[in-house]
Amino acid sequence: MTVPRDPAADAGVPPTMAAAPVTSSAPSPSSLQGASSPRVMLWTLMIIYIFNFLDRQIVSILAEPIKRDFQLSDTQLGLMTGLAFALFYTLLGIPIARYADRSTTNRVSLIAWSVAIWSAMTMACGAARTFPQLLLARVGVGVGEAGCTPAAHSLITDSVPADKRSSAIAFYGLGIPIGSLLGMVIGGGLADAYGWRTAFYVVGMPGVLLALLVPFLMKEPRRAGMLKGAAMPAAKVQIPVKEALKELATSRCFVFLCIAGGLIAFLSYGKGVWVAVLFIRNFGLSPGETGLYLGVTLGISSMIGTWGGGKLADHFGKRDRKHLLTGPAIAIALAAPILFLAYSATDWRVALALLVLPTAMNIMYYGPVYACVQGLVRPEARAVAASVMLFSQNLIGLGLGPLFFGMMSDAFQPYAGEDSVRWVLYGAAWLGLIPAFLFWRASLRLTAELKSG
């Protein structure tokens, strides 16, 4: 993979505040002199998101060792890797996003506290001595992470021009594959060498230190404007939550995106957990080997897909705004048959090679979709819009995906034996055609519903 000279700059982030926000919700450029530059902000937020997904996804590679220690079923494994985290993440997401949308809220402080909480609770996972204690610790990780992405998307939208927004949010979204890659590699290696408990301790501790640095690396644009005595825009009067939700519900494009986003997340989170189990259980690899081979290969593929999806959307979206979603729809549809072939392979090397292309294709939606979500509502409801989308993706996707896959694996086991996980993944491959269709339907409404700026 060729790394751009400065991805944040390529995403349309100006080197100085002279080219600051164009959205009406942000203070004027002259009022932002005390705020950090968009470039520094984007890099900081991306690093935070790396830690977010590192702490969230490390449990995937640790699932088999945890299962053996606590004598768990596949259903319990799905509960631990998915629903325990996602339930409180989604329940707290909207009220926290509502708080982030207030013009007096310091979103940087909110993110810093979130990092500290989820990192501390990740370390608590390593200290758990019973399965219920581990579930509670995972709940705590979800509580902490609920405050990150809606506030981050709101900060990005206030700081980057609309025609560069897909690339900027895609750059932030690079935290997903990088964090997942590090979780697989570091988690698997530490589990092999020192045990799964040590893995939780090691990945959680740096996040606590990062939380202390966040206020020094970023400044809240709103707070900077108020310190300068600048007049705040009309967003100071927060719209009622019912009005914000009504605005979202009346957008057919947003509804299509929510359903499609929930389904693609359901499949992605389910496959993410259980493909690692497949490599360990069916191919005989250790957690460390699986984390290295699967994590590095699919992590790099996901980085290319995330970044490429944002760049392609911005490029073709300038010609016709519906093409912001055309690429993800086509890519996800083409990925389905290749995934089926990958899961059918009897050699792990063949399976790994076949997973490269569809992995990149299935993540191309991230930047374009979340940029569209930000553009379908007024500035005063942007964090709420992101949180509703995250609610759909995490409750349906992270909450139910790994759990449902585990339940189906248990159900298939009497018939499929050791191939029960493989059978579940077969179905997951072809179900990807549904979100591809829904993204295409949403693209037909996009030009009419997107707001300017």
What confidence tens digit (pLDDT) does each residue in 165-216 have?
888 888 998 998 899 888 888 888 898 899 999 999 999 999 999 999 999 9
For 26, 91, 239, 373, 448, the CA distances from 382, given in Å and listed in that order, are: 12, 18, 11, 8, 18
Q: Please tell me whether residue 35 adopts helix, strand or coil conformation.
A: coil
34-49: pLDDT as tens digits: 445 788 889 999 999 9
| Contact (Cβ atoms closer than 8 angstroms) between residue 139 and residue 85 | yes
Burial class (CB in 10 A: 0-12, 13-18, 19+), 239: middle
For 37, 154, 158, 228, 379, the CA distances from 30, given in Å and listed in that order, are: 13, 20, 14, 9, 20
- Stretch 337-352: mean pLDDT: 95
Q: 370-391 burial, b for 16+ CB within 10 Å, e for fewer?
A: bbbbbbbbbbbbbbbbbbbbbb
Nearest Cα neighbor of 309 from 168, 196, 154 is 168
Q: Is 286 left (phi over 0), alpha (psi -120 to 50) or beta?
A: beta
227-260: pLDDT as tens digits: 334 344 444 456 777 787 888 888 899 999 999 9
Nearest Cα neighbor of 24 from 316, 234, 196 is 234
DSSP letter, residue 373: H
Which band of pLDDT confidence, cut at 50, 70 and 90, is reported for residue 3? very low
- What is the pLDDT, as a whole number, of residue 387? 78
pTM to 2 decimal places: 0.71
Which band of pLDDT confidence, cut at 50, 70 and 90, is reported for residue 428? very high
- What is the pLDDT, as a whole number, of residue 452? 56
End-to-end CA distance of the chain: 33
DSSP letter, residue 432: T
Looking at per-residue pLDDT, the higher value among 376 and 19 belongs to 376
Whether 23 has a pLDDT exceeding 60, the answer reads no
- Stretch 324-344: mean pLDDT: 94
Give backbone dihedrals phi and psi of 51, rounded to 5 degrees, phi first.
-65, -35
Q: How much is the mean pLDDT over the chain?
A: 82
- Stretch 155-168: mean pLDDT: 82
